[in-house]
Amino acid sequence: MKAGFSAHFPEPDFDLANRFRDAMSLLAGTVAVIAAGRGDQRRGLTATAVCSVAAQPPTMLVCVNRFGEAHRAISEAGSFCVNLLSDVNQPVADTFAGRSGKQGAEKFDNPDWQEMQSGSPFLSTAMVGLDCEVVEAVEAHTHTVFFGAVREVRAGAGTKPLVHFGRTYRNLS
């Protein structure tokens, strides 16, 4: 066995990884932008790896690549906002997925961004924003699972979810 791999995590199997990605493309999920930081330190990413953990106390989890700029923003701010996108937010989803050419804080060049109690960015045209304080972080391979205690819930203007399924955006209209 090579260094860095255990019996639990064997050598990478790229064919299996590709089949896994294909399988996960069939797991429909609401598209979210996870956003953190203030001013020029704002960063975000498009994600479907978002989940409620508990209703009491209200807790969310998000899975964030440790090598992305949003990871550092969440770690430094100690908070993040889960913006559940509406069907009109596909351009925002594309921007935060890296498809617009915008970098860093310039991804927030849109008047619809506001601040939550923590300072985390909230998109007012999303369906809802959940302002979360990081209460635990667990490293899992290339990602960190951030557990966030929900401190504020703010309704947005959106009413129909933007969904990702089959490697494309869809809506329920």
Q: Read off the pTM.
A: 0.90
Using CA atoms, how far residue 128 sits from 32, 82, 111, 123, in Å, is 10, 8, 17, 8
pLDDT in tens, 114-127: 999 999 999 999 99
pLDDT, average across residues 65-83 = 97
Whether 71 is covered by a domain: the verdict is: yes
Residue 134 belongs to domain with CATH number: 2.30.110.10
pLDDT, average across residues 165-171 = 88
pLDDT at residue 156 is higher than 70: yes
d(CA 137, CA 61): 9
Whether 23 is covered by a domain: the verdict is: no
pLDDT band for position 2 (cuts 50, 70, 90): very low
Whether 46 is covered by a domain: the verdict is: yes
Provide the residue range defining the domain that includes 120: 29-165
Whether 9 is covered by a domain: the verdict is: no
Whether 170 is covered by a domain: the verdict is: no
How many domains does the structure of the chain reveal?
1
The rounded percent of the chain whose pLDDT value lies above 70 is 94
